[in-house]
Amino acid sequence: MSGAVGLKDVAMRAGVSMRTVSNVVRGTGRASDETRQRVLRAVAELGYRPNSAARRLRTGRSGVLSLAVPDLTMPYFAELAAHLLRQAAVHGCTLLVECTGGRADAEFEIALGRTDPLVDGVILSPIALDDAAVAGAAARIPLVLLGERLHDLPATHVMIDNTAAAREATEHLLGGGRRRIAAIGRQDSPNACTSGTRLAGYRQAIEVAGLRYDPALAPPIAGYHRAQGATAMRTLLALPTPPDAVFCFADALAEGALHALRERGLSVPRDVAVVGFDDVEEARYTAPPLTTIAPDKQELARLAVAALLGRIEGPDPLPGTPPTVVMARHRLVIRESSGASGRRYSTASDTIG
């Protein structure tokens, strides 16, 4: 259709009222998941775009949002950013994507909106920013946080249940008869929340199974790239009793582990079963295809953009308001690397606070 598509056209296609279309596009009001999906499908099919210029005249807002992630060379953040760009466009917003490199100063500048004066609000995946800095930023500009680190601030945190996901991944390996299960992804720095939550789930699973946590089976690593995964796997293979399975806290680490196993002439999953985390596109094309935890990236993006627009359009939270935690779904996608296929476990999204 032409660029003249309007709310009425979308409402007719979706079989809902114009007010419902407006609420879904703006991320306000109440609509069932089924209704919201029907409206968003109609928006995509018709190529509808809200009139941003009219909105700026009406509201005084720019329609520009900012996304800050640590590293776009990491496939997970690149894929999540693509979903966020699409969700912002559905709402007629422009999304600026910036990389922080995990540096506290870069995170702080972006969280304050200083990198672009037009920004209405910020979606931030913080690594190094402390609570005091985040509190200062949240008081200056609407802010939504992504990731595992929970700041005790009146801001919305959008995440998956990383501990439950890691526990499910480890339980899957245990269910396949593996008993010497290693973990690649342990980081000991205070701000390493991804590592902490996923290590907790791994430990819960092996301890419930009556196994003892052995730190030698969870070697510390410096980062979540392929090279660190390969190095950690070589360390594990050098143990007097190497593991028969490994749970990697990121698919990139799992790709490195698979490379190290091939170097040694070992078979996956016969000799060592491998599970990753993130379900990036490459996970389907590794040799063998990788069993992995799949966060619902589309839902994470939808929830984050809706939360930010609600924060922009709504009243400022009162001092002392507890954080709102919004949980997106995840699932365990079972492929050949763990020795089984065909089953998927899922968890429902939930909101706490």
Stretch 348-353: mean pLDDT? 40
Contact indicator for 193, 149 with CB cutoff of 8 Å: yes
Show the domain range for 104.
59-160+298-322
Q: Which residue has the higher pLDDT, 153 or 194?
A: 194
Q: In this structure, is residue 281 part of a structural domain?
A: yes
Domain membership flag for residue 183: yes
Q: Is the pLDDT of residue 218 over 50?
A: yes
Whether 251 is in a domain gets the answer yes
Q: Is residue 97 within 8 Å of residue 70, measured between CB atoms? A: no
Residue 328 placed within a domain? no
pLDDT at 114: 66
* 142, part of any domain: yes
Q: Are residues 246 and 318 in the same domain?
A: no
The bridge status of strand 273-277 relative to strand 291-295 is parallel
Retrieve residue 170's tokens.
Answer: 């480890």
229 and 347 fall within a common domain: yes
Report the share of the chain in percent with pLDDT over 90.
49
274 shares a domain with 183: yes
d(CA 197, CA 187): 11
The crossing angle, in degrees rounded to 10, of helices 104-111 and 131-138 is: 20
Tens digit of each residue's pLDDT (9 = 90 or more) over 132-160: 666 655 556 888 999 876 666 667 899 99
pLDDT of 182 over the 60 cut: yes
C-alpha closest to that of 184 among 96, 84, 255, 285: 255
**Are 173 and 194 members of one domain?**
yes
Domain contains 92: yes
Same-domain check for residues 154 and 167: no
pLDDT at 211 over 90: yes
Same-domain status, 118 and 101: yes
Out of 49, 71, 89, pick the residue that ends a domain.
49
221-237 burial: b if 16+ Cβ within 10 Å, else e: beebbbebbbbbbbbbb
Number of domains in the chain: 3
How confident is residue 50, by pLDDT bands cut at 50, 70 and 90?
A: low
- In terms of domains, do 17 and 139 share one? no
Q: Which two tokens stand for residue 179?
A: 């008993």
Q: Of the given ranges (7-11, 62-66, 341-345), which has the lowest mean pLDDT?
A: 341-345
With a cut of 50, say whether residue 329 has pLDDT above it: yes
Give domain status of residue 6, yes or no.
yes
206: its two tokens: 């092996």
Pair (279, 241) in one structural domain: yes
The tokens for 338 are: 């763990």
Q: Per-residue pLDDT tens for 310-322? A: 888 876 665 556 6
